[in-house]
Amino acid sequence: MISDEERGEAPPPLSTKANMLWNSIGSMTYLACQWLVTIFVVRLSSGYDDAGLLSLAMSVVGIFGTFANYKMGTYQISDIRHENTLGEYFGFRCLTLGLAFIACMAYAFFTCAPHTLLTIALFYLYKGVGLLIDILHGADQQHRRMDYIGKSFIAQGVLSLGAFVAAFWLAGDISIAILAMTAAALSVFFAYDLPRASQFERVSIRLSREKTLYFLKTSLPAVIASLAASAIFTVPKQYLAALSGEAALGIYASVAAPALVIQMGAMYLYGPLLDVFPKHYFEGDKKGFVTLMLKTVAGIVAVAVACAIILEFIGSWVLQLLFGQSIAPYVYLLQPILLSTVATAFLWFFGDVLITLRDFRANFLGNVASLVAVIPLTFFCVNTWDMNGVSFAGAGACLIGVLLLLTFLVRAVERCPAPRDTGGGGDRV
């Protein structure tokens, strides 16, 4: 538990709408800057070697990012009783970053060319700084000050992009450019995020053996569930590549790019609420919990419908603008892809809500059920509908998981604790 001495003079919280707005603006800016890095690496180099090296580093580091994160973000945000200190979360993140780095470099040593190892290590370092900042962001969100998070993401994105472009233009070396990005991220960590998180709680590295084992054991089902969720669409994609060739997979991936807006929009919508759901639930406010659930579901559906309508009219133009006229015959793939992204968004949402209620078993079963279901669905759907079969198989598998997770959520609502006097109640939306 956090002692009174560890708490600082916290600034007043913002409204839920303000938190959502800042989170969305900051996250979108950061993602846009990360995307621009992949554009500038091509524009500023004479060939595609550096772009390929950066892509390889991103892919390899991404494999082990799930283990470095260890699904602690959702756990920390929903720790409304402050059972663990910020120092313990920070210490555990340092531990998982170190262990995942060893595993990442071992994997890279055996699977990648020797000249790529330095770039992979430096990119891991860059992403590691971001994961440390995420722990400080957890404290910001717990105290409803996501304006700090949004401004941090804006600073990280803009400064990292500027540092990458300047370093790569001057040195022409991808490793030096990534090192410059890391320096930019560290400057945001020390100059902005650290002072603001310190307003809420003393930032330190503190982790006992007992707490380490507790975190490892408690969040392991969520980590496995996250890996299962990320693999759901990998199965039909790999089968499509084996059946119809890599070109078919490339076409599908290109058309799917704009649809990611729905998944990101859903995360920006419910992410700021992951500490509000458990407040309603554990304070016995069943009506508030259910109302917030329904509002969030309606919001995700509204985002999906709006995106579907917009992309119906401009989807072809956007795809041709990004990938050229050769993509035009495959615009028909877009709407089924939208269906699959909506199903994925609900799988993530219901799973994260169950984590906030500390029902790790339910989250695990729902995501693993989706992964198991996608295997037979893949053979039937891809053999029947070719590229569209990837979307149908993934959507069907996700819907099975969603129904299972929803069943667990209904049972959780039925077991909602009795109302208690909290001296002011939780945040209202």
- Tell me how far apart the alpha carbons of residues 276 and 278 are, in angstroms, rounded to a whole number: 6
Taking only the tens place, the pLDDT of each residue in 296-338 is 999 999 988 998 899 889 989 988 887 788 889 999 999 999 9
Residue 421: the pLDDT is: 52
Output the CA–CA distances (angstroms, integers) from residue 385 to 210, 239, 244, 246, in the order listed: 52, 13, 12, 17
Residue 427 scores a pLDDT above 70: no
Taking only the tens place, the pLDDT of each residue in 374-404 is 999 999 999 999 999 999 999 999 999 999 9
* Domain positions in the chain: 1-207, 221-421
Taking only the tens place, the pLDDT of each residue in 156-209 is 999 999 999 999 999 999 999 999 999 999 999 999 999 999 999 999 998 899
CB neighbour list of residue 391: distance below 8 Å, 6 or more residues apart: 333, 336, 337, 339, 340
* Gyration radius of the chain's alpha carbons: 22
Phi-psi region of 253 (alpha: psi -120 to 50; beta: other; left: phi over 0): alpha
Which single residue is written with the structure tokens 């022409």?
Answer: 172
CA dihedral 223, 37, 131, 22 (to 10 degrees): -100
**Cα angle: 392, vertex 398, 399; to 5 degrees:** 90
CB neighbour list of residue 212: distance below 8 Å, 6 or more residues apart: 92, 95
C-beta separation of 179 from 121 below 8 A: no
* DSSP H helical ranges for 198-333: 209-231, 234-244, 246-256, 260-270, 276-282, 286-323
C-beta separation of 236 from 378 below 8 A: yes
Residue 262 scores a pLDDT above 50: yes
- Confidence category of residue 119, pLDDT binned at 50, 70, 90: very high
